[in-house]
């Protein structure tokens, strides 16, 4: 798990606005930590890679890492994070969108991770996931915060509650369960085939 000093050193190098502060991601990373061994030796596709803080933890376990991040500033932050962690060179790739990645598909994922972003996916992306990604994947971790999200204004596709996420996963052929932190504010829906 990344320590505070390393996190702050990375932040000092990141250009643009910063989302991935220790306060914002620290509690979620610590809750995710216990689930990471299930990604051992897998090709992991992470949606919403942001500055690569979750990716660093995933790379400790995975065989290969594929990140999707549409925001150019965050992609640049991700590069800085990984330039500072040379031991992971050769094991990661970063794509701007799921659609562009799907067009290439030269790494086949067998696990999917999405942290505080699943509710942002478009109908087209959800369809692409359902048709092309989920049939190959056998392990899923979707992390979310319990938060009020309005359907109107396109702030959610409806997939922000444990129930809705589990239902979606079940439709893709997964068994799914929810794992809450002790505050009841952070949860992961974990799915297995």
Ligand X SMILES: C[S@@+](CC[C@H](N)C(=O)[O-])C[C@H]1O[C@@H](n2cnc3c(N)ncnc32)[C@H](O)[C@@H]1O
Q: In the bound complex, what is the minimum distance in angstroms from residue 73's beta carbon to ligand X?
A: 9
Q: Which of 70, 76, 126, 178 binds ligand X (CB under 6 A)?
A: 70
Residue 18 pairs in a beta bridge with none
Query: How far, in Å, CA of 101 to CA of 9, rounded?
Result: 30
Instruction: Name the residue whose CB lies closest to ligand X.
Output: 48
Q: What is the DSSP string of the chain?
A: ---HHHHHHHHHH--S-----HHHHHHHHHHHHTTGGGGTT-EEEEES-TTSHHHHHHHTT-SEEEEE---HHHHHHHHHHHHT-GGGTTSEEEES-HHHHHHH--S--SEEEEES-GGG--HHHHHHIIIIITTT--EEEEEEE-----TGGGT--STTSHHHHHHHHHHTT-EEEEEE-TTSSEEEEEEE-
Q: In the bound complex, what is the minimum distance in angstroms from residue 119's beta carbon to ligand X?
A: 9
Task: Kindly state the number of chain residues that form the binding site for ligand X, as judged by CB under 6 A.
Answer: 19
Find tokens 């919403």 and name the residue.
48
Q: Which of 31, 54, 75, 160 binds ligand X (CB under 6 A)?
A: 54
Q: In the bound complex, what is the minimum distance in angstroms from residue 10's beta carbon to ligand X?
A: 14
Q: Which is nearer to ligand X, 71 or 138 (by Cβ)?
A: 71
Q: Which is nearer to ligand X, 127 or 175 (by Cβ)?
A: 127
Residue 68 near ligand X by CB under 6 A: yes
Q: Which of 11, 18, 19, 107 binds ligand X (CB under 6 A)?
A: 19
Residue 141 near ligand X by CB under 6 A: no
Q: In the range 98-127, which residues lie near ligand X by CB under 6 A? A: 98, 115-117, 120-121, 125
* Site residues for ligand X per CB under 6 A: 19-20, 25, 47-48, 50, 54, 68-71, 74, 98, 115-117, 120-121, 125
């Amino acid at each position: 798990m990344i320590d505070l000093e390393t996190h702050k050193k990375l932040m000092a190098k990141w250009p643009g606005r910063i989302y991935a502060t220790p306060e914002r991601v620290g509690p979620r990373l610590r809750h995710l930590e216990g689930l990471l061994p299930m990604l051992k030796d897998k090709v992991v596709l992470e949606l919403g890679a942001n500055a690569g803080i979750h990716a660093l933890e995933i790379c400790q376990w995975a065989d290969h890492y594929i990140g999707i991040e549409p925001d150019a500033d965050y992609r640049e932050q991700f590069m800085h994070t990984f330039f500072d962690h040379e031991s992971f060179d050769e094991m990661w790739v970063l794509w701007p969108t799921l659609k562009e990645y799907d067009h290439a598909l030269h790494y086949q994922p067998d696990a999917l991770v999405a942290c505080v972003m699943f509710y942002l996916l478009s109908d087209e992306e959800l369809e692409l996931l359902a048709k092309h990604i989920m049939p190959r994947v056998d392990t899923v971790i979707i992390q979310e915060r319990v938060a009020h999200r309005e359907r109107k204004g396109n702030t959610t596709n409806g997939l922000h509650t444990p129930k809705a996420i589990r239902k979606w996963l079940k439709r893709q052929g997964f068994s799914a369960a929810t794992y809450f932190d002790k505050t009841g504010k952070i949860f992961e829906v974990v799915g297995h085939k």
